[in-house]
Structure 1
Amino acid sequence: MAPPARFDIIAIGNAIVDVIARADDALIDAEGLTKGSMRLIDAVEAERLYAAMGPAVEMSGGSAANTLAGMAALGQRCAFIGQVADDQLGHVFTHDLRALGVAYDTPALSAGAPTARCLILVTPDGQRTMNTFLGASHLLEQAMIAEDRIAASDILYLEGYLWDPPLSRAAMRRAIDVAREAGRKVAFTLSDAFIIDRHGPDFRALIAEGLFDILFANEVEIGALAEEADFETAVAKVAAQVPLLVVTRGEKGAIAIRNGERSAVDAEPIDQVVDTTGAGDLFAAGFLAGLAEGRPDAECLTMGAICAREIIAQVGPRAQTDLKARIAARLG
């Protein structure tokens, strides 16, 4: 039996600063982008696209870091591992995460690539199209993964986006081993269908080995992972291989399947979708916070849906409302 944990969750993910700007559909079309998608870009393309964007707002982001920000706001003990550079954006990211109460002390790079940034175009329908320059974030090495903290955390949460770079992939593989050896649970979020296109065989092998206790996906990702067009067929195929599968479905709500038992929740009502950036990240925050509190899966889903609603009603991926109060008003 594992000893009592110091942290409820420790996450490994991209340390990114988001640059968010409003954009019309004409710009999306002119740039040849797929609305609602995420793509990787290099430094030159980042500079060119930034020049084409309108007035922007900068705030710390990164999928797993967003999830921790939400969990910290809900009172959970959180730690983060991710690589920034010793530059202005790196200092912003570090300050923002620590200010939320998240333990974060991965040493910054003193030379080489700058801190990662994600250029996000938000169209009038609230959809976000992300263009990510990974910069320093993809240089996370195995030596940086703080094995003592992983062993002292109830859940290790891994961000699929960070599986792409070889260095960070090796670090995450080692982190999985550390967590399993310490008797801790491993949660994985698939992040995006394009990551599955590139690394689907890896993910399927890890699942087949029983290395993931909790798997997060959206409707598109679960189909890509299962290689099945029908949603229910895809869900059944993957749910048979993981102890807990959580799938978000946008306006159709979300489901969780634990050892064959299914729970479902409707999407929370909202007057206007402002920006979908971080919706999945905050859903995961609510769900995982519920797990940390020992709540049943149905309540965890509701907590996730409430957090997702709050985030899509604002600009940016870090909550500007009191998530804890919103959940207490609904669930107590």
Structure 2
Amino acid sequence: MPDYDVLCIGNAIVDIIAQCDEEFLETNGIIKGAMNLIDTQRAELLYSRMGPAIEASGGSAGNTAAGVASFGGRAAFFGKVSNDALGEIYAHDIHAQGVAFDTIPLKGEPPTARSMIFVTPDGERSMNTYLGACVELGPEDVEADKASGAKVTYFEGYLWDPPRAKEAIRQTAKLAHAAGREVSMTLSDSFCVDRYRDEFLELMRSGTVDIVFANSHEIKSLYQTSSFDEALAQIRKDCRIAAVTRSEKGSVIVRGDETVVIKATAIKELVDTTGAGDLYAAGFLHGYTQGRDLQTIKATAIKELVDTTGAGDLYAAGFLHGYTQGRDLQTCGDLGSLAAGLVIQQIGPRPRQNLRREAEQAGLL
């Protein structure tokens, strides 16, 4: 049986990133700072109008898997691509980053998913996402050996939209729990929570999900309250561990009666907050599954960290890495903050640096 630290399940999306000005957004009817789902025709139109672009494998859970691997952890990924050019790019990138990715690609339509990300001079990203082959992920794509062999399975809330993907996640969770493993999820965004509030709460309260990653907007939406403290008190009861990011205020981690408040400090330059929670999640799980104790966590600085733009995801990935290596939660938090701080100082959602080397230099591994 394979032995992985983190198995990630998510939308396999190729990010196509290009710089643009405000006028471009207005001319093309793009809502600044939003994530819009688009159809094939709209995808082809925007792609034809993009300037020079960077193409790289993305997707929330895929970024988490890449973060775990960059730390030196053993990561696997379930996600659906098509047997087209972008599908080959996605598979090449994630394999090159050291992630086990063996999901059988589709033959023909729909094509591989892509997210066209337009970055304005102020650093704001406007995402236009065509899901394509992502929606075809189903129970037949669940690899039982990986589901049973991973210390923690992590899936993104975004994947709760396609009905067959829900079946795949529930099947994976059953296999994981039967093998004594744990399951975690990220709420992904407030709109996702609005669509599936009752189902997300059922996943937590039933024990299908053990660990939840969210930001302050998402948990307030989950419990339909304007009070962060009230939402935090509720999520403390509904899941075993919750890690909640709070933009420039840092984050809060709760487990039972324990509360860890994390302060944020400044970084040199905020370039791109895409996917920060993914790497936070990777570091968290990588340390947690090795059984370390809960302690006060010191955050690496994340000045002006904007959770709604995906920064909370990469922040989570670093934490997951530490968690599955059995580090205490202070080290898990430091690893998550390190990963997030590095990734938001570059363009693109996946780390260019070797995160293990960076962590070793910081005295964290």
- Give 1:35 deviation, angstroms: 3.6
Separation in structure 2 between the aligned mates of residue 24 and residue 233 of structure 1, nearest angstrom: 40
In structure 1, the partner of 2:319 is 287
User: Any runs of at least 4 consecutive aligned residues in structure 1 with deviations exceeding 4 A, and if so which?
Assistant: 29-34
Separation in structure 2 between the aligned mates of residue 5 and residue 255 of structure 1, nearest angstrom: 33
TM-score by length of 1: 0.94
Separation in structure 1 between the aligned mates of residue 30 and residue 124 of structure 2, nearest angstrom: 12
In structure 2, the partner of 1:102 is 99
CA contact (8 A) 1:118 1:130 kept: yes
Corresponding residue SS for 2:11: coil
CA contact (8 A) 2:2 2:146 kept: no
Size of the alignment, in residue pairs?
Answer: 329
Match of 2:185 among 164, 184, 188: 188
Match of 2:202 among 183, 205, 208: 205
Match of 1:254 among 237, 251, 255: 251
In the alignment, residue 110 of structure 1 is paired with which amino acid? K
CA contact (8 A) 2:276 2:317 kept: no
The gaps in structure 2 that reach 5 residues or longer are 280-314
- Give 1:285 deviation, angstroms: 1.8
In structure 2, the partner of 1:42 is 39
Separation in structure 2 between the aligned mates of residue 237 and residue 26 of structure 1, nearest angstrom: 44
Match of 2:64 among 64, 67, 73: 67
For residues 1-332 of structure 1, what are the structure 2 equivalents within 5 Å? 6-282=3-279, 283-332=315-364
- Give 1:254 deviation, angstroms: 1.6
Deviates more, 1:237-246 or 1:278-287: 278-287
Corresponding residue SS for 1:331: coil
Q: 1:253 to 1:30 in 2, by over 3 A?
A: farther
Separation in structure 1 between the aligned mates of residue 257 and residue 35 of structure 2, nearest angstrom: 32
Corresponding residue SS for 2:238: coil
Corresponding residue SS for 1:118: strand
Residues 65-110 of structure 1 show CA distances to partners (whole Å, capped at 9, x for unaligned) of 1011011010111111111100111111111111111111111111
Deviates more, 1:221-230 or 1:260-269: 260-269
Q: 1:60 to 1:229 in 2, by over 3 A?
A: same
Corresponding residue SS for 1:273: coil
Separation in structure 2 between the aligned mates of residue 67 and residue 314 of structure 1, nearest angstrom: 16
Separation in structure 2 between the aligned mates of residue 195 and residue 266 of structure 1, nearest angstrom: 27
- Give 1:64 deviation, angstroms: 0.5
CA contact (8 A) 1:240 1:259 kept: yes
Corresponding residue SS for 2:264: coil
- Give 1:33 deviation, angstroms: 4.5
Separation in structure 2 between the aligned mates of residue 50 and residue 242 of structure 1, nearest angstrom: 41
Deviates more, 1:215-224 or 1:321-330: 321-330
Separation in structure 2 between the aligned mates of residue 259 and residue 28 of structure 1, nearest angstrom: 46
Separation in structure 1 between the aligned mates of residue 250 and residue 197 of structure 2, nearest angstrom: 25
- Give 1:45 deviation, angstroms: 1.4
Deviates more, 1:213-222 or 1:29-38: 29-38
In the alignment, residue 321 of structure 1 is paired with which amino acid? Q
Tell me the C-alpha RMSD between the 2 structures.
Answer: 1.7
Residues 289-313 of structure 1 show CA distances to partners (whole Å, capped at 9, x for unaligned) of 1111212222212211111111110
Separation in structure 2 between the aligned mates of residue 304 and residue 168 of structure 1, nearest angstrom: 28
Separation in structure 2 between the aligned mates of residue 320 and residue 160 of structure 1, nearest angstrom: 26
Deviates more, 1:254-263 or 1:19-28: 19-28
CA contact (8 A) 2:2 2:145 kept: no
TM-score by length of 2: 0.86
